[in-house]
Amino acid sequence: MKAWRTGGAALLAAAALHGAGWLYASQRVRSGAEAYLDSLRGEGWTITHMPVRLAGWPLAAAVQVPGFAADGSGAGVPVAWTATEVRIGVAATQPGTMRITPSGAQRWRVGAGPWTELTSDSFDLALDGRGAVLAVQGLNLSGTSIHVASARAEVAGLDVSATVTGASAGMLPWPVEAATLEATLTQPPPASGPAAAVAWRDAGGLVQVRALTLSAGPVQASASGTARLDGQLQPGVDLTVLVRGHRPALDRLVQAGTIPEGTATAAKAVLGLLASRDPGAPAKVPVTLAGGVLAVAGFPLLRLPPLAWAAPPADQAR
């Protein structure tokens, strides 16, 4: 009987120690989360939420942030996002990794555009001292034909990698079976807002695309090159692309109404000049994006909408 009492006391003591440790760790997570949100508010973000509560017992130190809403227009980032709830926590099995997971209904919009509902089977952002990993499964944007079966993006120092599988969108007449990216930034990524983007660009900020691959319908392509921001903070791209299947792809784009038939005919002629005499070899094509115009071998193919940067309020601009 004495042994039972001793064992029970030890068990209660262990439970009390675990509870105290969990409470301490959860409070640290809450303090860190609130400090980070306050730092974003200091940059001009509008962030609102309901009272934060502790969660995760017994295997994780976590907090639940209900009624979360963020709007970056005051910081010069024209993006807003809401979620029914956001969980921020650290699992006992990964004490060095912070995980951010939204749940329930989500919405987002760009600039003054309409709100779009976002749903996903899973959405997880993991942060540690080395970088960040975003993993998404079954992403859908309501009111659009955009669907992504699986996506993963990783940032480690100045290196960026991403993989997308099973993506579809209305502007493409075929799904993207797979796309991958391996790139390196010449400067640390800029903070939010156009002022930070200008500083990054002026410091020599570039994205060096080491390897970009795409498999979509008849198209098989790989590319390398650079991406940058121009004088108006619009994206600029210079790539050398090896592509197969461009002729049937252009035909499908015409059938889908994405490009005019005359544009496709001219593009075929240009690509034909660049193609190897070996029928099995890919065409080696320079692709550029400048001033919103996507050009293939100097031939304009598409005009893309400009990247909209929200201007900060006058009191922050001064």
What string of DSSP letters covers 104-173? EEEEEEETTS--EEEE-SEEEEEEETTEEEEEEEEEEETTS--EEEEEEEEEETTEEEEEEEEEE-TT-S
pLDDT at 13 over 80: no
Report pLDDT for 313: 43
At how many degrees (to 10) do helices 261-274 and 246-255 cross? Answer: 170
Report pLDDT for 283: 80
Section 25-42 average pLDDT: 78
Domain boundaries, the chain: 186-318
Confidence of residue 194 (pLDDT cuts 50, 70, 90): confident
pLDDT at 235 over 70: yes
Report pLDDT for 32: 75
Average pLDDT, whole number, for the chain? 80
Report pLDDT for 152: 95
Please state the pTM of the whole predicted model.
Answer: 0.75
Confidence of residue 15 (pLDDT cuts 50, 70, 90): very low
Residue showing tokens 């963020």: 70
Section 142-171 average pLDDT: 87
Q: Which residues contact 63 (CB under 8 A, 6 or more apart)?
A: 26, 29, 30, 33, 52, 53, 54, 55, 56, 87, 88, 89
Q: What is the pLDDT of residues 254-275, one digit of tens each?
A: 777 777 788 777 777 777 666 6
* Most confident segment among 86-95, 205-214, 238-247: 205-214
pLDDT at 88 over 60: yes
